[in-house]
């Protein structure tokens, strides 16, 4: 019984909020209609009427409709009129249905304030936000928050090459490979390998890596090297780093996400800073008084 009663209160509250929204919108809209009445609108300018509310041609700004056929234009206008009629009917009947006008008025005022504040904040942020993010700033933010970013699957950085054992210059490739001269390894390997993956900074899903590299080269360690000669080919594999599920996500994989988080943090600080400065200013100007 108590549960049923609480549900009714919730539904009533939702209905009041919805109706408050309708009042706000219809109030703003109908003020435009009222101006039309006061300027002695001719009957041929009136498109629809619901009780004492009138919709005129000026109210729907027909001129914004461009690059469509006359028939489509008329259909759009007709749809707009039908929508307006239903909205006005709902607002008119809502006024009769709701007795607590003070609550409605307060909800309308609160909603209007929230719209004004939101519009102001968007404009203020647009004019004052620093959207430039340096690599150092991103790294600092990552270091401070990296414990919040965890992998949901295993990933790996590796390089791999399969090269014909008879290729010229292979001895030099061996030397460069063993001394981690990755630029030279890439230069030779990308030209002479039958198959290769030689980008040292690229991360792969561990499962994906296992599908690209022969199984006889794979080990379970997080970091290892393998070189083998099989059927006239030299196989080179160097696993540079492995991170498993629940490990911290590498910075390079979440740069876009970090940028968004940094921007959102800056937006929040920008608004908070503005509010604090405004508060102090108006306190000093005696425009704020707190009564104990």
pLDDT attached to residue 70: 74
Q: Is the pLDDT of residue 3 over 70?
A: no
213: left (phi over 0), alpha (psi -120 to 50) or beta: beta
Q: Are 99 and 19 in contact (CB under 8 A)?
A: no
Q: Report which of 35, 40, 26 is spatially closest to residue 92, judged by C-alpha positions.
A: 26
Query: What average pLDDT does range 153-170 have in this prediction?
Result: 97
pLDDT category at 32 given cuts 50, 70, 90 is very low
Mean pLDDT of 23-30: 48
What is the pLDDT, as a whole number, of residue 65?
55
**Lowest-confidence segment of 50-54, 159-163, 267-271 by average pLDDT:** 50-54
Bridge partner residues of 238 (DSSP): 159, 225
Mean pLDDT of 131-148: 97
pLDDT of residue 100: 76
Average pLDDT of the segment spanning 127-131: 96
Burial of 232 (0-12, 13-18, 19+ CB in 10 A): exposed
pLDDT in tens, 46-105: 889 999 899 988 887 655 556 667 777 788 888 989 999 999 999 888 888 777 778 888
Mean pLDDT of 202-220: 96
Percent of the chain with pLDDT over 90: 67
pLDDT computed for residue 102 by the predictor: 83
Asked whether residue 37 carries a pLDDT value surpassing 50, the answer given is: no
Tokens 């630029």 map to which residue?
183
Residue 215, Cβ density class (10 Å: 0-12 exposed, 13-18 middle, ≥19 buried): exposed
What integer pLDDT is reported at residue 153 of this predicted model? 96
Question: Residue 18: pLDDT band by 50, 70, 90 thresholds?
Answer: low
Count of all residues that appear for the chain in the document: 292
Residue 131 has pLDDT above 80, yes or no: yes
Residue ranges of the domains in the chain? Answer: 2-122, 135-146+253-284, 150-243
């Amino acid at each position: 019984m108590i549960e049923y009663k609480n549900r009714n209160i919730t539904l009533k509250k939702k209905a009041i909020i919805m109706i408050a929204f309708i009042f706000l919108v219809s109030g703003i809209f109908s003020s435009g209609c009222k101006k039309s009445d006061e300027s002695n609108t001719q009957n041929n300018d009136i498109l629809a009427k619901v009780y004492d509310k009138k919709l005129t041609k000026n109210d729907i700004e027909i001129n914004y409709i461009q690059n469509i056929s006359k028939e489509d234009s008329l259909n759009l206008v007709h749809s707009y009129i039908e929508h307006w009629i239903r909205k006005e009917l709902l607002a008119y009947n809502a006024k009769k249905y709701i007795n607590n006008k003070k609550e409605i008025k307060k909800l309308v005022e609160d909603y209007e304030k929230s719209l004004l504040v939101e519009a102001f904040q968007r404009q203020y942020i647009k004019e004052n936000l620093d959207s430039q993010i340096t690599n150092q700033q991103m790294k600092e933010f990552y270091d401070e928050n990296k414990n919040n970013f965890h992998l949901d699957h295993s990933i790996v950085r590796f390089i791999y090459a399969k090269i014909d054992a008879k290729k010229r210059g292979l001895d030099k490739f061996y030397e460069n490979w063993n001394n981690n001269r990755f630029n030279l390894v890439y230069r030779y390997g990308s030209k002479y390998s039958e198959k290769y993956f030689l980008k040292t900074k690229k991360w792969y899903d561990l499962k994906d890596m296992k599908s690209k590299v022969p199984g006889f080269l794979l080990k379970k360690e997080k970091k290892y090297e393998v070189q083998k000669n099989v059927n006239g080919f030299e196989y080179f594999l160097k696993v540079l780093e492995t991170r498993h599920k629940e490990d911290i996500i590498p910075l390079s994989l979440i740069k876009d996400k970090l940028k968004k988080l940094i921007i959102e943090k800056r937006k929040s600080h920008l608004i908070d800073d503005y509010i604090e400065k405004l508060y102090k200013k108006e306190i000093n100007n005696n425009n704020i008084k707190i009564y104990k």
